[in-house]
Amino acid sequence: MASESAGKVVPENTVAPANHFRQGAWRLVSYLGEAESLTLLSVIEQGEMTFTRVFRDNRRTLSARIETDTDGALMLKVPRARNGRRWERMLTFFRGSDAVRSFHQLEKMKAMGFAAPDPVLACEKRQSGVVVDAFLCYRFVDGRPAEAGDAGLVLDALRRLHRAGYLRTDAQRANFLMDGDQVVFIDFRLKRPRFFASLQKARELDRFIRSCPEAAVHLTDQERASLWLRLAHRLENLSFAIRESKRDIRRKKQQ
């Protein structure tokens, strides 16, 4: 099958090239036309959009569903902490912002045949060559949160991603939506493991099972007997213990 995008026929499981625009210090990567892209940038920069649901609003991240007059329901994500960290800014001398990289990761997921939100617009503002502000917009997915009964389907989708050579990172049940029987990946950060790939994939499986214990019954006999999964479970126990110890130290300092 094929679909039409911007007047071009696009084969299934491929992504049409995004448009690139500039507006002052802003660089835009977009699947909208130039006028629409610049209008959406202006709306967001001026704070003129309507928030219909705020999922997170803290010093680290703004994540909210917004409505605009022309583009319908969108998810707006502003990686505030990443935009503000000095070392992260320095890295953008050599690479795109977190928002632009997330835009391209959405494209990659679609191209590989996985269900993920459709990227719409990513914008980054540079000063002296480094990114000082950035945000991402993608189509709002009107799915339902994955439930315990969906554990087998989510596990299959996660395995498919691993076979494609990637980790999704943060494989919590809350980071998957269901659109009918289709598993939709949300809030992911693709990573291609360079070292100990089998161990890293096993750790991701262990994290998902921790967030969804019902998934354990869907493990294959080979996975249950895997030394990698056993080692991953121990490493995750250690990781959780270290994080809890750090939280205790912070709490004591605040008292």
88-104 confidence digits (pLDDT tens): 999 999 999 999 999 99
Q: Tell me which residue of 133, 140, 134 sits closest to 119, measured CA to CA.
A: 140
Span 190-212, mean pLDDT?
96
Q: Is the pLDDT of residue 47 over 50?
A: yes
Alpha carbons 202 and 233: distance in angstroms, whole number: 8
Contacts of residue 116, Cβ cutoff 8 Å, sequence gap at least 6: 106, 109, 110, 184, 185, 186, 188
More confident residue, 12 or 60: 60
pLDDT in tens, 67-80: 987 778 999 999 99
Predicted pLDDT at 11 = 36
Contact assessment for residue 212 and residue 151, using Cβ atoms and an 8 Å cutoff: yes
Confidence grade of residue 86 (pLDDT, cut at 50, 70, 90): very high
For residue 87, name the pLDDT band (cuts at 50, 70, 90).
very high
> Averaged over 10-31, what is the pLDDT?
80
Sort strands 19-23 and 26-30 into parallel, antiparallel or unpaired: antiparallel
pLDDT exceeds 90 at position 8: no
What was the pLDDT predicted at 12?
44
> Over pLDDT 70: what percentage of the chain?
94
